[in-house]
Amino acid sequence: MALDGYVEYKRREFCKDVKCPVQLELNNQTEGSPEYERTRKKCSTGCLFSTWQFHHWLIEKGYLILKPKGSAET
């Protein structure tokens, strides 16, 4: 749910922008195919980028990270 006047992060926007080699493979495959799912699994088990890189990319691109008031503290 985007706030009025804002846009939400689109899935794999970071991966596409930094030209992740795994994302480049996915771009050449049919979404949902067995080959696509095998390649996609690389992301969940061994991403080539760090959380720090992703976080700083978000900041550089002007994204805000929001949390509703009253939600559980972590």
Range of the domain at 31: 13-60
Per-residue pLDDT 10s for the chain (74 aa) are 678 898 999 999 999 999 999 999 999 999 999 999 999 999 888 999 999 999 999 999 999 988 888 877 65
Q: Which residue has the tokens 């890189």?
A: 53
- Give a yes or no: residue 19 inside a domain: yes
How many domains, the chain? 1
- Has residue 34 been placed in a domain? yes
Return the pLDDT at 36: 95
Distances (CA, A) of 40 to 19, 29, 30, 58: 15, 10, 11, 22
Q: What backbone phi and psi angles, to 5 degrees, belong to 44?
A: -80, -20
pLDDT score at 74: 59
In a domain, 38, yes or no: yes
pTM: 0.80
